[in-house]
Amino acid sequence: MKLSFVEVGVGTLAVMAAGVTIQGAVSQGPPDAEAKVQQSTCLSNLRHLGIAFQLYLGDFNDVAPLSVPAVNGQFAPLQQFPAPISQRYEPMGSGWAHALRPYTLYKSVFVCPASKKLEVEDSQVGQSPRVLETSYAYNGLLHALNAAKFVAPAELTAFWEGWGDTFDARFYGANPQLNCHDGSPPCVYAGVQGPTSMMFQPHGTMWIHNSGFNSAFADTHTKWTRVGAQVTPDSAGPPYTDYRIDPFTGYDESGIPGWYWQHHMHPLIFSPDFDFNWSKRDADGRAMPTPQSLTRLPVH
């Protein structure tokens, strides 16, 4: 689907105007009402990012933005990400948030009002003043990928609350993320033929909005997903979650996951070529996929 800024501009302005009005009314309502308004505003933000994503694709030959910037020819997902030097943002030379910033009205759409900024040491604060703060995570398997490779855009997550209800303001990135640390080309998702990938453990609980989180999909629509409730009845071992709905295998009492669903080297539901009608078992009757431990991000 191709969109133009003219086509979505009025609708986007209306969404954002509604968001401003809603936020202004938050403090006057009861806690439950405030939580619902935050969830609604968060969904509006993600809808805005989904539209910006489509506009970007239209301007860059259907190639998705980079999940992380290229630094001297190498990708650095664990480094702090400075803004691009050019005020034109040079989207293909920077990370996804700066790539999409020219297509958004306000920087506020990059932060969910229900998210809390991670507390860090005083020496770390302000270390990267040009970083664009965001509480949302990009699906890093879309990194530099042509949209023609999206098998099911309406079910493929593009942006989500993948850091939980707490975010690190010093950087932004992707979750999951391709393993392209050495910059070896091509750093593009290609199933079992390309680089592997990993998922990071969220900084906070995934029970952000009424025991769930919000997502924006590759076709721009948004959705809230209840997590930790759906169970795959035929999985071997513990009562795991349904891997076609929930990216994580299970949660602790605080809603923080430790494992995720992996199949053929990649997090299952984030894979651009994943068929969501896929059978729960392979030809030998073995349950698929398998739990894989999450990677912990260092917090200094």
Query: Residue 108 domain-assigned?
Result: yes
**What percent of the chain stands above pLDDT 90?**
39
CA-CA distance, 179 to 198, in Å (whole number)? 7
| Neighbouring C-alpha atoms within 13 Å toward the C-beta of 298 | 7
**The two structure tokens encoding residue 28:** 């006057």
Q: Is the pLDDT of residue 116 over 80?
A: yes
Backbone angles phi, psi at 287, to 5 degrees: -70, 140
Query: Residue 300 domain-assigned?
Result: no
Question: For residue 175, what pLDDT is reported?
Answer: 94
Query: Residue 119 domain-assigned?
Result: no
Which H helix or E strand runs over 217?
Answer: strand 212-217
pLDDT tens digits along 150-196: 999 999 999 999 999 998 887 777 999 988 765 556 788 998 888 88
Question: For residue 19, what pLDDT is reported?
Answer: 41
Query: Is the Cβ–Cβ distance between 135 and 108 less than 8 Å?
Result: no
Q: Is the pLDDT of residue 264 over 90?
A: no
Query: Residue 14 domain-assigned?
Result: yes
Q: Is the pLDDT of residue 5 over 90?
A: no
**What percent of the chain stands above pLDDT 70?**
69
Average pLDDT over residues 142-153: 93
Question: For residue 31, what pLDDT is reported?
Answer: 59
Given the DSSP bridges, would you call strands 166-167 and 177-178 parallel, antiparallel or unpaired?
A: unpaired
Closest C-alpha to 191, from 242, 138, 267: 267
Query: Residue 51 domain-assigned?
Result: yes
Q: What is the pTM of this model?
A: 0.80
Given the DSSP bridges, would you call strands 116-117 and 166-167 parallel, antiparallel or unpaired?
A: parallel
Contacts 24+ apart (CB under 8 A), 1-10: 1/54, 1/153, 1/219, 1/220, 2/54, 2/57, 2/58, 3/51, 3/54, 3/55, 3/58, 3/220, 4/55, 4/58, 5/55, 5/103, 8/51, 8/55
Average pLDDT over residues 52-74: 82
CA-CA distance, 258 to 87, in Å (whole number)? 40
Question: For residue 95, what pLDDT is reported?
Answer: 79
Query: Residue 298 domain-assigned?
Result: no
Q: Is the pLDDT of residue 278 over 70?
A: no
- Alpha helices by DSSP H, listed for 130-284, are none
Closest C-alpha to 51, from 19, 113, 111, 4: 4
**Residue 84, SS3 per DSSP:** coil
Q: Which residue has the higher pLDDT, 146 or 181?
A: 146
Q: Is the pLDDT of residue 147 over 70?
A: yes
pLDDT tens digits along 192-230: 888 889 999 998 999 999 999 999 999 999 999 999 877
Query: Residue 118 domain-assigned?
Result: no
Backbone angles phi, psi at 9, to 5 degrees: -55, -50
Domain tally, the chain: 1
Q: Is the pLDDT of residue 28 over 50?
A: no
- Rg over alpha carbons for the chain, rounded to the nearest Å, is 19
CA-CA distance, 243 to 269, in Å (whole number)? 7
Average pLDDT over residues 125-137: 68
Question: For residue 26, what pLDDT is reported?
Answer: 37
Question: For residue 280, what pLDDT is reported?
Answer: 53
Lowest mean per-residue pLDDT among 47-56, 65-74, 157-166, 241-250: 65-74
Lowest mean per-residue pLDDT among 56-70, 90-104, 138-152: 90-104
Q: Which residue has the higher pLDDT, 249 or 93?
A: 249
CA-CA distance, 175 to 137, in Å (whole number)? 6
Residue-number span of the structural domain to which 270 is assigned = 5-112+124-293
**Average pLDDT of every residue of the chain:** 77
Question: CB within 8 A of 161, min separation 6: which ones?
Answer: 42, 112, 115, 135, 136, 137, 206, 208, 213, 214, 215
Query: Residue 283 domain-assigned?
Result: yes
Question: For residue 181, what pLDDT is reported?
Answer: 61
